[in-house]
Structures are given as structure tokens and as C-alpha cells.
Amino acid sequence: MKTGVIVYVVGSENRLEGSDLTEAVKRLNIDAERVEIVSSSSGHFDVMDAWWALTTKGMSRIVCLIAEVSRNARLRLTGRELRLCG
């Protein structure tokens, strides 16, 4: 079963200052075949769009993780996880 993960970024993304959001997500070391990002500044605009992208790429299990920008301009997972069904 292929697993896809959607990282939903909340909070003030402008704290990343020059850092690439994609690189910040890679540093989270998420164990999945594919990872999609939902944020206001890059990636997908909503969870449904990211879910569709993962579904069309063959992911049969899709999980949505919430991440927030911390004070030191890094992403951290909040621990909240949503299982999305198709």
C-alpha cells in the first residue's frame, strides 16, 4: 500500500525568510512515497487539490499532517493527523 502525505502549513510562513518551504518539509523526514504541501505561498491551495494529486499518482493511503512555522523559522509537526479516505 503506497502512502502519501499532505503537509498543511499553518501560521506565518514569512518567518522562513529565504528558506525554501520544500526544503523545510524535507527536513521533517516524513516516511511516505510522496509528500504534497498545502500553504498560501507555495504548493497546493487546498487539501482537496493535494489529495487529488496523490490519488492520481497511485497513493492508496493518504494522511494529512499539520505543520506550523516555529519561532526559529523551522517547520514542526503539531502531532495532529487526519486520515483522508477516497
- pLDDT digits (tens), the chain, 86 positions: 899 999 998 876 656 654 578 888 889 999 999 999 998 777 778 999 999 999 999 999 999 999 988 777 788 999 988 877 65
**Per-residue model confidence (pLDDT) at position 13:** 61
Nearest-CA neighbor of 28 among 5, 48, 44? 5
Nearest-CA neighbor of 44 among 26, 64, 29? 64
Alpha-helix residue ranges (DSSP H) falling in 3-46: 21-26
3-state secondary structure of 18: coil
**Per-residue model confidence (pLDDT) at position 18:** 47
Phi, psi of 2 (to 5 degrees): -80, 135
**Per-residue model confidence (pLDDT) at position 85:** 66
